[in-house]
Amino acid sequence: MKRQSYDGVVVTSPVTVPYVRYSQETAHWWIARALRATLATASLRPDEIDGFSVSSFSLFPDTPVGLSQHLGLTLRWLDTVPMGGASAVAGFRRAARAVHAGDVDIVACVAGDSNYIDSFRKLLSSFSRFSMDATYPYGFGGPNASFALLTDAYMAQYGATREDFGKIAVSQRDNALKNPDAIMKKPLTMEEYLNARPISDPIALFDCVMPVAGSEAFLVMREEEANRRSLPYARVASTIERVNAFPEDPIQLRGGWAMDIDEFWEMAGFGPGDIDLLQTYDDYPVISMMQMEDLGFCKKGEGPDFVRKHDLTIGGDFPHNTSGGQLSVGQAGAAGGYLGFVEALRQVTGLAGGTQVEGARRAVVSGFGMINYDRGLLSAAAALEGVTP
């Protein structure tokens, strides 16, 4: 059966609570701030929403059920989206269908995590059973080592060079310098990128995101509600989601997008050439490069050449990760899965401020996540079209 559109449902009120490197505050605190800000944007009181979608790694011992009492919310629809880098797209998809069906009117989608000293190590230690059994005992390199193996294989297979990944990182830093909330505030040169401290060969310091504390949010509501409140919003033309794609691939050289990409563009009604900017999930540059390929911007294996041939900065011919992405803004746990979505929403509604791509109306945002063992198990993407009242 052909999937139904999201007609009549929109996404609005993008919020990023500026990140900090370490925070003594809890995930509850960070989520409260993002929720409050997104509601304020739409002039809503907490008792005026009836749906809540939460993504967080550090709520323990609470779940979003306990969090609703913690925050004084009375709800008729609650969702937990533990999907890491795919959280925003996945959270939106579920919320949009519920709003579409009338199960709920307004859903606040929020992601946030804290970052205490040593909390990253502790998060890793209990991340997954396969990691516990089959990766951490082998050097405990965390995701750096896992992505290093993918990067090593990708470079060997397709001839990508460190400079190709460097171009992604350097361009994003360039973008980040226009984002006052980015953690990274200094320019990054290709030379600095190439000479950086090695982390897990071939990955070096500027291939890695910095764990931070922060939160992100947006609202999902019916179009007439957004219009009634005179909110800038975006329609969502298409989404896809895939779990555990290509399990037979010995090593991950492609993501789940490659399974769903035809349906994605067919549902969107436009193609890769029609979009104004791309927000990829950039926990490591190699994954951004794979997304450019698997989302159809170039063929498999042509990612390196595609990057070489395009200007990825805000003012360039292929604006990519315009906020600076996680590589320059930081990775705030599950909020990392929201960063691109919230930035895309700002871009297509003209709210991006210093990072605004001129005339941006269509954006593709993709998510990727959860290195359960040797590969990211989740992929997701959404095409957003902005509507300004």
Partner 1 sequence: MSIPLTPPPKKDPQKRTRVPTLPPAMRSRAATGISAAAAEGRFALQHCEECGTVQYPPRDACCKCLSVDLTYKDTETGAEVLAETRIHASPDPFFRERLPWRQGSVKLDAGPVAVVHLHGDVGRGDRVRMAMKLDKAGQGVLIALPIERTEAMEDDPTLRGLTAHPKHRRILITDGRNPVAVPLAKALLKAGASTVFVGEAEAWRRWPGRAALEAIEGVEIMDLDVSDMRSVTELAGEIGGKTDILINTARFVRPGGVTMQDTVFAREELDVNVLGVMRLAQAFGPGMAGRVQDGTNNAVAFVNVLSSYALVPDPAYGAFSASQAAARSVCQTLRGEYRPQGLRVMTVYTGPTDDEWHQPLPPPKVAPSALARDIVNGLIEGLEDVYSGDVAKDMFERWQRDAKVLEREMTTGGGI
Which span (31-39, 73-81, 129-137, 328-336) binds partner 1, by CB under 8 A?
A: 129-137
Tokens of 110: 């929020």
What does the DSSP 8-state code read for residue 350?
Answer: T
Omega of the bond prior to 61 within 30 degrees of 0, cis? yes
Which sign does the torsion angle of CA 202, 204, 206, 208 carry?
A: positive
* Phi, psi dihedral angles at 252 (to 5 degrees): -80, 105
Count of chain residues binding partner 1 (CB under 8 A):
39
Provide the minimum distance between the beta carbon of 132 and partner 1 in the complex, in angstroms, as a whole number: 5
Nearest to partner 1 of 134, 190 (CB atom): 134
Residue among 11, 27, 203, 213 that touches partner 1 (CB under 8 A): 203
Provide the minimum distance between the beta carbon of 201 and partner 1 in the complex, in angstroms, as a whole number: 4
Residue among 86, 109, 124, 160 that touches partner 1 (CB under 8 A): 124
Residue among 20, 46, 70, 136 that touches partner 1 (CB under 8 A): 136
Provide the minimum distance between the beta carbon of 118 and partner 1 in the complex, in angstroms, as a whole number: 8
3-state secondary structure of 378: strand
Tokens of 129: 């059973």
Query: How far, in Å, CA of 38 to CA of 334, rounded?
Result: 17
Neighbour tally for 192: CB within 10 Å: 16
Query: How far, in Å, CA of 45 to CA of 43, rounded?
Result: 7
Cβ neighbors of 337 (< 8 A, separation 6 or more) are 55, 83, 84, 85, 86, 87, 88, 111, 281, 367, 369
Provide the minimum distance between the beta carbon of 179 and partner 1 in the complex, in angstroms, as a whole number: 26
Provide the minimum distance between the beta carbon of 289 and partner 1 in the complex, in angstroms, as a whole number: 16
Which span (45-53, 146-154, 165-173, 220-228) binds partner 1, by CB under 8 A?
A: 146-154
The reply to whether 60 sits near partner 1 by the rule CB under 8 A is no
Which sign does the torsion angle of CA 228, 231, 232, 236 carry?
A: negative
Do the Cβ atoms of 227 and 221 come closer than 8 Å?
no
* Residues 158-197, mask of contacts with partner 1 (x by CB under 8 A): ---------------------------------------x
What does the DSSP 8-state code read for residue 334?
Answer: G
The reply to whether 359 sits near partner 1 by the rule CB under 8 A is no
The reply to whether 68 sits near partner 1 by the rule CB under 8 A is no
Residue among 5, 68, 80, 144 that touches partner 1 (CB under 8 A): 144
Residue among 116, 246, 270, 373 that touches partner 1 (CB under 8 A): 373
Which of 14, 24, 81 lies closest to 51, judged by CA? 81
Residue among 20, 71, 153, 261 that touches partner 1 (CB under 8 A): 153
The reply to whether 121 sits near partner 1 by the rule CB under 8 A is yes
Provide the minimum distance between the beta carbon of 60 and partner 1 in the complex, in angstroms, as a whole number: 17
The reply to whether 142 sits near partner 1 by the rule CB under 8 A is yes
Q: Rounded to 5 degrees, what angle do the CA atoms 232, 368, 151 make?
A: 135
Residue for token pair 């009375």: 74
Nearest to partner 1 of 118, 317 (CB atom): 118
Tokens of 238: 């298409």
Which of 151, 148, 165, 124 lies closest to 199, judged by CA? 148
Scan residues 236-295 and list those touching partner 1 (CB under 8 A): 247, 250-251
Q: Which residues bind partner 1 (CB under 8 A)?
A: 118, 120-121, 124-125, 129-130, 132-142, 144-146, 148-150, 152-153, 156, 197-203, 247, 250-251, 373-374
